[in-house]
Chains A and B, each alone.
Chain A
Amino acid sequence: MDVNRRDVLKVLLGGTAVTAIAGSTAHVAKAAPETVQPLEDAVGLLYDATKCIGCRACMPACQNANGLVPDRGLSHGLYMQPNNLNSQTKNLIKLYVAEDGHERSFMKQQCMHCVDPACVSGCPMQALHKEPKGVVGWDSGLCIGCRYCQIACPFNIPKFEWYRVNPKIVKCELCRHLIGTTETQPACTKVCPTHAVIYGKRSDLLAEAHRRIKEKPGYYFEDRVYGETEGGGTQCLVLSRVDYTKLGLPKMGPESNASRVRRVTNVIYQGFLTPVVIYGGLVAVVRDRWKEHLQHVEDERNEDNDSKGMHV
C-alpha cells in the first residue's frame, strides 16, 4: 500500500492539533456545558450562623453518632479540641472574630454535599459517589487511597487517616447510616438547641432561606444564601451576616469544577473516538516507515556483504 506520507502526516498532525486546541479552548464554546441539576429529593442542611450560639452540642453528638474517637488536640486529654476537620472530626464549630473585633460569627464546617461534587468527579473508583437523595458517601470497598478527592474539593473537606495502615477518608455523610433506620435526621440537627442548623429537602431549605432573607432585607450578607449556585450549588447551605469568605467559604462561580473538566475531556476524547482514530492513522504511517526501514537494513547488509566480498 502506497500511502502518501506527507498527506497522512498533515492530516494526522492537523487532526491532533485541532483536537488538542479545541479541547483546550472548550470553555469558550457557546454550547451549553454539561451542568448537573440537583436531584428532586436532594436533602441537605441549612446553617444560619446568626442563630448559632456556639454551644457545640453538635460536635459530641456527631462523634457519638459516627463512632469517632474524640480529638483531644493539645488539651492533655481534657477536652474535645480539634482545631480543624480531621480524621476524627466530621463536624466543627469555628469562630470568626474580625481583627478589630467589630464583628464575629460562628461557622459550622462539614461536607457541603455539592450538587456536582469535584470529589465524585475525580475519584477513579467511584468510592466517593452520590447516594440516594444526593448525599455524598464514601465506600471503603473501592477506595484506593489516592487522595485525589482532597486535591479536588474546593472546601477542603475529605480528611485522610494518615496514621493508620488501613486509612479511611473521613467526612460528614449526613448520618446516612442512621437515617431511615433509627433516626429521621442527622445527629447535629437533632441536638441543636436553637435550630441554627436544620435538615430537610434542599428545595425546602432554599425556600426557607429566601423567606428569612426576605423577612429581614439587608440583614444577611448580600441578601443571599451561600450554596445556592456556588460551584454548581451545594446541598448544605449557609446564611450569615458576615462575608462568607471570612467564614472560610471560597468564592466560586456558578460552574462546578467537575463540569469544566468534563467539557475538556469530552472534547479531547469524544468518547473514545479520537484515540482510536489517531491510533489507526499512526498504524498506517508506522507500517509504511517500518517497511522502509526493513528494506534499508536489507540494503545495508547486502552492501556490507558486497564490500566484504561475501555472498550469502
Chain B
Amino acid sequence: MHVRDDMSLAVPTAIRNGLDRRSFLKVVAQATAAIGLTSTMAAKVVAAVEKGARPSVIWLHFQECTGCTETLLRTSHPGLAEVVFDLISLDYHETLMAAAGRQAEEALEAAIKKNSGKYILVVEGAIPTKENGIYMQIGQKTGLDIVKHVAASAGAIVAIGSCASWGGIPSADPNPTGASGVNKILEGKMVVTLPGCPANPYILLGTLLQFVALGKLPELDELGRPKFAYGRTIHEHCPRRAHFDAGRFAEEFGDEGHRLGYCLYKLGCKGPSTHASCSVLQFCEVVDAWPIGLGHPCFGCTEQSVAFRVPMHKPSEIVRPTPPSTYAPVSAPQGFISPIATAVGGLIGGALLGAGWMASRGMKDKPAPSTHTPPPNQNSDSEKE
C-alpha cells in the first residue's frame, strides 16, 4: 500500500489503490475543500465510502471532442483519478475503459441492469436530432436511442460541457445535424447541466461529491446549472474588475494596456454576460490558466446565446451595470440653455417692443371717430345664426 506523493499527474486508470485511512482522510479533506464543501461534508463522504456506497457512474460520449474528459483527468485535488474512482464506480467510460467492442456494450447493459434506478448518467457531447439522429451512431444505434435507453433507468443525469448542456459547437449555425443538448432530448427529466467548453472539472467533482455525501444534487438555477458554480457572471468576480471600473482597457492586442493586464472588455470580453466560475477555479491547476488570465477575452463558452454565436471580439452587453470608480460630485451641472432658443426669445421680445414703439409713434394725434360708413364688405357678416 502506498500513497502517491506525485499529485500532479493524473493517471487514467481504474486501479484501485488501498490507501491507509489517514491518507484517505487527507485526500477527501482536500477534495471537499477544493470544491467548497465543508468539513462536515468530508466526514459524510468518508462515511459513505466506508459504508461501501459508491454510486455507479455511466459516462456516455456523443458529438464531442472529449475535452471535458481530458480536463477531468487533469485534476489533482482530488489527487488521482483513482481517488475519484474510489468514491464512485465508473462502470462505463469509452475513453478510459479497457474494454472495447461487444465487451463494452455488454458491460454497459450489465451496469444498467445492476444499478437500475441508482446510477448517475453523465453525458458528454451533443446529440444530433436531424433525420432521426443518424448523424451519430455507435454499434448501429443512434445517439438518440442510446441516451433515451440509458437515461430511462438513471438515478441522476448530469450533462457535462456546453455540448451536452445546450448543443455546444456542433450546434453552431447552421446546425446541419440538429445538434441538441441532452436536456432538450430528455424532456421532463431533471438534467443537471454543467456548461463550459470545456466545463471546469471541479464543478463536476463538486456535484458528484455532494451527491455522494448528501444523496442529493446541489441547488440548480432555471437552466439546471448548479448555483454554486454558475450563480455569478465572470464580470462579477473577475480579477481585472478594478480596471474595468476605473476605465482602464486594453484597446488592441499587444498594446500598453494589454501588457499591463488591463480589462479586456473592449477586445470583446463576454464576461458580463457569461455565468461561470473560471476566474475562481481556473484550469489545469496553473495560476491564471484561463482565457482572461492569459490575456484573451472570455468568449462566453457556457452561454448558448453567446458562444459560437456572437463574434468573439464584439463587445458584450452589460445587463446589470454598476458604478465606475469615479463619483458624482455634490452638485453636477444640469440643464441646457439652447442658443437658438435665446435667439428666438430675444427676437420675439424685441419684435414686441418694436411693435409697441411703432404703434405708439402713430399715436401723435388723438383718433377722430369715423363718421362715414365703411364700404360694404363681402365677408360673411350675416346675422343669421
Contacts and interface: CB of A to CB of B under 8 A. Distances in A.
Interface of A: 54, 56, 59-60, 70, 72, 75, 77-84, 92-96, 106-107, 246-248
Contacts, number: 63
Given A56-B323, A59-B323, A83 B328 contact: yes
A247 B330 contact: yes
B322 A95 contact: no
B321 A83 contact: no
A82 B327 CA distance: 9
B334 interface: yes
B330 A93 contact: no
B113 to A, nearest CB: 49
Contacts of A84: 328, 332, 334
From A54, A79, A94, A95, name the one whose CB has the most chain B CB atoms within 10 angstroms: A79
Contacts of B318: 77-79
B322 A56 contact: yes
19 contacts: A70-B320, A75-B321, A75-B324, A77-B317, A77-B318, A78-B265, A79-B322, A80-B323, A81-B321, A81-B323, A81-B326, A83-B332, A84-B328, A84-B332, A92-B328, A94-B327, A94-B330, A95-B329, A106-B327
A246 B327 CA distance: 15
B209 to A, nearest CB: 32
Nearest to B249: A78
Contact of B321 (A54, A77, A93, A246): A77
A182 B380 CA distance: 72
B270 to A, nearest CB: 14
Contact of A94 (B322, B324, B329): B329
Nearest to B323: A56
A82 B328 contact: yes
Contacts of A75: 321, 324
B331 interface: yes
B229 to A, nearest CB: 22
A248 B247 CA distance: 28
Contacts of A78: 244, 247, 265, 318, 321, 324
Q: Across the A-B interface, give the 3 residue pairs with the lowest CB-CB distance, nearest first.
A: A95-B327, A83-B332, A80-B321
A248 B331 contact: yes
Nearest to A245: B330
Given A59-B322, A80-B323, 16 more contacts: A56-B322, A59-B323, A60-B323, A70-B320, A75-B321, A77-B317, A78-B318, A78-B321, A79-B245, A81-B326, A93-B327, A93-B328, A94-B327, A95-B330, A96-B330, A107-B330
B39 to A, nearest CB: 27
Interface residues of B, number: 19
A95 B321 contact: no
Contacts of B330: 94-96, 107, 246-248
Interface string B317-353: 1101111101111111010000000000000000000
Given A77-B318, A78-B318, A84-B334, A94 B323 contact: no
A78 B319 CA distance: 9
A101 to B, nearest CB: 14
A96 B320 CA distance: 26
A220 B206 CA distance: 51
B322 A60 contact: yes
Contacts of A246: 330
Contacts of B324: 75, 78-79, 81
A70 B317 CA distance: 13
B247 to A, nearest CB: 8
A245 to B, nearest CB: 10
A247 B330 CA distance: 6
From A93, A94, A248, name the one whose CB has the most chain B CB atoms within 10 angstroms: A94
Nearest to A75: B324
B330 to A, nearest CB: 5
Contacts of A56: 322-323
Contacts of A106: 327
Nearest to A105: B330
B73 to A, nearest CB: 40
Nearest to B245: A79
Given A77-B318, A78-B318, A83 B329 contact: yes
A59 B320 CA distance: 12
B326 to A, nearest CB: 8
A79 B328 contact: no
Nearest to B321: A80
Nearest to A71: B321
Nearest to B333: A83
A246 to B, nearest CB: 7
